[in-house]
Amino acid sequence: MPNILILGATSAIAEEVARVLSIRGDRLFLLARDATKLAAVAESLGSPVVGFDSADFDDAEANGGRVTRAIATMGGLDMAVIAHGWLGDQIESEHSFEHAAAVIATNFTSAVSLVIPIVNHFETQRRGSLVVLSSVAGDRGRPRNYTYGAAKGALTLYLQGVRSRLYKTAPLVRIVTVRLGPVDTPMTRNHPKNALFGEPRSVARSIVHAASAGPEDVYVPWYWQPIMAAVRSLPERIFQRFDFLAGR
């Protein structure tokens, strides 16, 4: 049975991913910030969960040790999913460097501090899958979320470099970037919903599939790939004229 580490396991999407994996019989170790919620998730998943622990991933220097302990508890690692994130408050980030730095730390710096020990472990054993949840917000700067988007864009770029680094030395290691479109979860509770919003269970199934098959840079739901290709292609002066793209 595969050993799988899920980081940010109490997010709505990560919990659904864990549920899909538990149903197929994988062994899970869960890490997340909220200890009470994490315990409830672990209990609901049952025996596939071989361990769990609370963790503030913004304490980046401690993340390597957390990964090492999780691997030791499971007796190995076949797959990891990095699923934590924080939208923050865009307006506040424009006036407070402290808030902007916190958004960047959660969405980029802390993720990198987890990627490094996981990738190094996979490179040593010459196999494994790392799935990292990025965002379509990282494809183009938009006034409504450009601080969060900048952090996710940096993460996407970082993972491109990791893939290229491992291309020759560890070709059986998959580094999967999932560029998520908006999903109907508590994280987006205050956002007006439309038909483009994904549903957590369907999104989770796509994420699990991407871990082992298909391209290593994937849009979920799939329809965001052509949408973002069009958005990226617009010259900035034209892009700025459309309120649904460049508005708040």
* Residues with catalytic function: 148
Q: In what order do the strands lie in the sheet with 173-180?
A: 49-54, 27-32, 3-7, 79-82, 128-135, 173-180, 217-220
Q: How many CA atoms lie within 13 A of 37 on its CB side?
A: 12
233, amino acid identity:
S
CA distance 99 to 48: 38
Cβ-contact 80, 66 below 8 angstroms = no
- Cα–Cα nearest to 82, from 51, 116, 50: 116
CA–CA distance, 178 with 216 (Å, rounded to integer): 8
> Using omega within 30 degrees of 0 as the cis cutoff, is the peptide bond preceding 143 cis?
no
